Amino acid sequence: MGIPRFIKLPGHKQFNYSPRYWDPEKEAREERIRLIKQEMGVDVPSDPNRTTIKRGSFRQASQKTKVRATRSSNIRLVIILAVLLVLAYLLFLK
């Protein structure tokens, strides 16, 4: 028998994960068929809500973001150094 508690502690939270099956070969095959039909002039309905995610697209996007962040950080650093140099010049030489 345990010690009675005044505050009830919450139990553990459960997470229901049901993996989805993804077949990259089937997706590539369907993409090739769609492109061939498009080249032949067959009317191919395109779903505006469907987007295809290419392999490596997240990596490319993150690299672009990283380069942009590094560039803006470097510009900010140069501006701060310039302001500090101007302030030092005004304080010490005048």
> What is the tens place of the pLDDT at every residue in 51-76?
667 776 777 778 888 889 999 999 99
Q: CA–CA separation, 23 vs 34, rounded Å? A: 17
DSSP 41: T
3-state secondary structure of 47: coil
For residues 71 and 63, the answer to whether their CB atoms sit within 8 Å is no
Query: pLDDT per residue over 45-55, tens digit each?
Result: 666 566 667 77
Position 5 scores a pLDDT of 75
**DSSP letter string, 18-79:** -PPP--HHHHHHHHHHHHHHHHHT------TT--PPPTTHHHHHHHHHHHHHHHHHHHHHHH
